[in-house]
Amino acid sequence: MKLVWFRNDLRVRDNQALYSACLASDGTPVVAVAVLSPAQWLMQDEANCRVQFWLANLCELSKDLAALNIPLKILRAGSNNEVPDQLLALSTRLNVDSIYFNHEYAEYEQRRDDAVYMLFQAHQLRVESFHADTIIKPGTLRNKQGQPFKVFTPFSKAWRVRFTDEWPETLPMPAPQPLCTVQADPIPDGLVYDAPVQSIWHDHLWPAGSEEAHQRLARFAESKAAEYKSHRDFPAMDATSALSPYLTVGAISSRQCLAGLRAYSGDPEWLDNQWTSELIWREFYRHLLVDFPEMNQLLPFKPDVESRLTWSSDDQLFEAWCRGETGFALVDAGMKQLLATGWMHNRLRMVTASFLTKLLRQDWRKGARFFMQHLIDGDFASNLGGWQWSASVGADAAPYFRIFSPMRQADRFDAHGEYVARWIPELASLKGVQRFDPMFGADVGRPLPIIDYAHARSQSLDDYNLAS
């Protein structure tokens, strides 16, 4: 019997581990397993909304597997340390000879998987692992000097060359397997997860399942992908793919996304589409975790830059940012979108992160943790990479200390205040630029700015420059 261990790869199509197990089964049953580990989720700051979304997708996966005669077993573990023994005990009960899974790249997961490998090998059981979360295997893409890429643009160029040379195709759904006498376990409905933030999964915003993910992909590729580059930064527009939560739990793969873009968009230059670049960014951050493992310890990619910064410990400023009560309309709208939905437009992720780190002078780690505790698409690699980039301590080619002005960003990307009025209803009675003017905002109950922007910007730049 073959055992397939599902983690954040909750799909039956383009799943190397599942496909390979079914090919190797040789007429014997295939059983799937997933592990529930709330204590580990808590340790890693998994958002409650993400956990509930993951469980809902696990339920959809169980149905898809049942159609293939593959029962899904559910194990419970307190933490990753308990997972290897749990898997071995299940394998012993079911007379399993091989376990199959797809790689994850964060340190917690790598240590867990290494422990599973060693334990199973010690008991003469085969371990087969695959790279399904990335299109190009981390650790294999190198510059002309044979070194890992440290900047995105040359990485993306090399990535596209490798992709074109190898052209990895998506895998089909495996054929139905022989009937299995093992009974599937029920998926817990509304698992109690004692997270410090009880963020809510809104199923009307994010319906679970691979079918939903592929429908979104088709709609995006057909109607939005052509104008994605020009429209993606305007948060009031419905211009993004809205696929990030599905990619995070693996209801759809990056390979499937590219295949869908190619098939549905009709664009012969699809590989150079801006949305393709966003998928490559996702890969880039995973490659960085493997090539620079110290990042897993929340150490900066550029320690020389962080050594020049002084972080403030003003909890009041941080709490105002968390609540979306800074007095800067665009920042606050982004934070309120996050609090209400578990998701935030990417432009606003950059604006709010820059505001916290550059103007409030708060340690980027605090912001990264807050995001992970609230995001339905919380992803360790992408979240870590994005926050380090925003704080100027990450993989960024910019030779200067970038500070996003919330006022200029609003003028460029929400000139009529449509987005801020959507998430701060009291501003809806105001018109145009009044929605961004703190004095007008105060008249309708909004807080005054918690900092003087010009002074804060000058202080931040002085801090950076004086230490250089």
Mean of pLDDT over the chain: 94
Please report the sign of the dihedral spanned by the C-alpha atoms of residue 198, residue 201, residue 205, residue 210: positive
Rounded-to-integer distance, Cα 449 and Cα 437, Å: 10
Give residue 425's identity as a one-letter amino acid code: P
Q: Annotated catalytic, 281?
A: yes
- The whole-angstrom separation of Cα 453 and Cα 431 is 23
Residues 300-324 pLDDT 10s: 999 999 998 999 989 999 999 999 9
Residues 82, 278, 325, 418: which is the catalytic one? 278
Closest CA to 97 of 81, 121, 76: 121
The alpha helices in 342-444, defined as continuous H runs, are: 346-354, 364-374, 380-390, 406-413, 418-423, 438-443
According to CATH, where is 3.40.50.620 located in the chain? 2-133
Q: Edge-to-edge, what's the strand order for the sheet holding 98-102? A: 72-76, 30-36, 2-6, 98-102, 126-130
- State the number of CA atoms in the 13 A half-sphere of 27 facing the CB: 0
pLDDT digits (tens, 9 = 90+) for 14-73: 999 999 999 998 889 999 999 999 999 999 999 999 999 999 999 999 999 999 999 999
| Residue 11 pLDDT class (50, 70, 90 cuts) | very high
Q: Please give the radius of gyration of the chain, using alpha carbons only, rounded to the nearest integer.
A: 23
Tell me the CATH number for domain 303-466.
1.10.579.10
Contacts of 162 (CB under 8 A, 6+ apart): 136, 141
Q: How many H helices and E strands in the chain?
A: 21, 5
What architecture is the 2-133 domain classified under in CATH? 3-Layer(aba) Sandwich (3.40)
460/466 Cα distance (integer angstroms)? 10
Does the pLDDT at position 258 exceed 60? yes
Compute the average pLDDT of residues 281-299.
Answer: 96
3 state SS of 225:
helix
One-letter amino acid at 316 equals Q
pLDDT of residue 207: 98
The Cα 376–Cα 54 span in angstroms is 9
Q: Where in the chain is the domain with CATH 1.25.40.80?
A: 135-168+210-291
C-alpha distances (whole Å) from 26 to each of 17, 129, 176, 177, 277 are: 15, 19, 12, 10, 40
The predicted-structure confidence for 125-139, as pLDDT tens digits, reads as follows 999 999 999 999 999
Residue 156 pLDDT more than 70?
A: yes
Asked: is 135-168+210-291 a CATH 1.25.40.80 domain? The reply is yes
The C-alpha atoms of residue 327 and residue 450 are separated, in whole angstroms, by: 6
Q: Which residues contact 338 (CB under 8 A, 6 or more apart)?
A: 344, 371, 374, 375
User: Which of 69, 212, 346, 418 is the catalytic position?
Assistant: 346
Q: Kindly list the distances between the CA atom of residue 263 and the CA atoms of 245, 268, 275, in Å, as whole numbers in the listed order.
A: 22, 10, 14
Number of other CB atoms surrounding residue 29 within 10 Å: 19
The pLDDT of residue 196 is above 90: no
Percent of the chain with pLDDT over 70: 99
- Number of Cβ within 10 Å of residue 36's Cβ equals 18
Of these residues, 82, 128, 281, 418, which one is catalytic? 281
Q: Is 311 a catalytic residue?
A: yes
Catalytic residue among 206, 321, 364, 423: 364
Question: How far out from the chain centre does Cα 428 lie?
Answer: 32
Query: Tens digit of pLDDT for each residue in 215-255?
Result: 999 999 999 999 999 999 999 999 999 999 999 999 999 99
What's the CA gap between 376 and 365, in Å, rounded? 19
Q: What is the mean pLDDT of residues 113-124?
A: 97
Q: Each residue of 79-113: pLDDT tens digit?
A: 999 999 999 999 999 999 999 999 999 999 999 99
**CA separation for the pair 415, 330 (Å, rounded):** 11
User: What tokens does 297 get?
Assistant: 């310890």
State the pLDDT at residue 468: 54
List every span in the chain annotated with CATH 1.10.579.10.
Answer: 303-466
Query: Which position among 387, 418, 423, 426 bears the catalytic label?
Result: 387
Comparing 142-156, 184-198, 439-453, which segment has the lowest mean pLDDT? 184-198
pLDDT computed for residue 188 by the predictor: 85
Rounded-to-integer distance, Cα 449 and Cα 310, Å = 22
Give me the residue label for tokens 């990030």: 244
Alpha-carbon distance 290 to 283, whole Å? 11
Q: From the candidates 81, 212, 222, 311, which is the catalytic residue?
A: 311
Q: Is 387 marked active-site? A: yes
Angle between helices 364-374 and 346-354 (to 10 degrees): 150
Residue 340: pLDDT over 90: yes
User: In which band, very low, low, confident or very high, does the pLDDT at 399 lie, cut at 50, 70 and 90?
Assistant: low
364 an active-site residue? yes
- Let me know if 41 is a catalytic residue: no
Confidence band for 337, pLDDT divided at 50, 70 and 90: very high
